[in-house]
Structure 1
Amino acid sequence: MRNTARWAATIGLSAAAICGPLTGASVASPGSAPASLYAPSALVLTIGHGDDVATVTPERAVTLTCAPKASGTHPAAALACAELRGVGGDFDALAGRDDVPCTREYNPVLVTAQGVWQGKRVTYERTFGNECVKNANGSSVFAF
């Protein structure tokens, strides 16, 4: 009987040593890999007046998370994510419109995007001549 108790203890401890780390694998801890199968897509978008990112203070800022689902403080997160997916995350490829009449007033509007798109670091900035030209860009990404 004494050998049976020893074997039971040995098997129990071995099982705990082997299976113990596996039970904690589903619990996310700080600094661990994300539990999602999606590459992260999370951005901070800003708008401010001026033409130099070093001197412009953002007037508005929103967050936009696109994976695994659209969320964040962006007012049209689902539409903005769909537009970014449509151009593969290339902000320069977002559709512009030529049919919107805008004044030639120069009151520069600077938009920025910083964060991660499908696991890759993103830094983007663009200056528009004025608010009308920015809005004529036709993209909902910077419409907030």
Structure 2
Amino acid sequence: MRNTARWAATLGLTAATLCGTLTGSAHAAPAAPASLYAPSALVLTTGHGESAAAVNPARAVTLTCAPSASGSHPAAARACAELRAAGGDFEVLAGPGGALCTREYDPVVVTVDGVWQGRRVSFERTWSNECVKNSSGSVLFAF
């Protein structure tokens, strides 16, 4: 009887030690490198109309900038570089361009929603026509 109790105690301590070691090593693993970056993931839409509320988007793209540029945006790396250079200020990138455009009124609206460097962002801009939108020179809005 005494040997049975010793064996049971030994097995119990061995199991606890093994399980404790396995559990401890799972928590002690270093974090993945991706967690070192603040998230930067955006959804951009465009459509014809005076506001995003009144229009169904004609096109939507995704843009992820951290830890590396990716998404369905046609020039993801350049768009992320522009955003970083502008400090995440969409107004700077949507500013007036130097192109000569017709005075045709066919409004184009672009929206940007998501997270930029860990903070929630929402942006909407309406241009009088496609030419004026493209004259801003920003790759971010060229999709």
Q: Same fold (TM over 0.5)?
A: yes
Which ranges of 4 or more aligned residues in structure 1 deviate by more than 6 Å? none
Compute the TM-score of the two structures, normalised by the length of structure 1: 0.83
Question: CA 1:43 to 1:98, structure 2 compared with 1: closer, same or farther past 3 Å?
Answer: closer
Greater C-alpha radius of gyration: 2
Letter in 2 for 1:6: A
- What is the RMSD of the two structures over their aligned residues, measured on CA atoms? 2.6
- TM-score w.r.t. the length of structure 2 is 0.83
Judge conservation of contact 2:50–2:109 (CA < 8 Å) in 1: yes
1:106-117 → structure 2 map (5 Å cutoff): 106-117=105-116
In the alignment, structure 2 segments of 5+ residues that lack a partner are: none
Deviation of 1:48 after TM superposition, in Å, equals 0.4
Show the counterpart of 1:54.
53
C-alpha distance 23-64 of structure 1, shift in aligned 2 (>3 A): same
Aligned AA for 2:62? Answer: T
5+ residue gaps, structure 1: 29-33
Fraction of identical pairs, as percent: 60
Describe the shift of the 1:98–1:75 C-alpha distance in structure 2 as closer, same or farther (beyond 3 A).
closer
Matched residue count: 137
Q: Distance in 1 between matches of 2:34 and 2:96?
A: 40
Contact 2:44-2:60 at 8 Å conserved across structures: yes
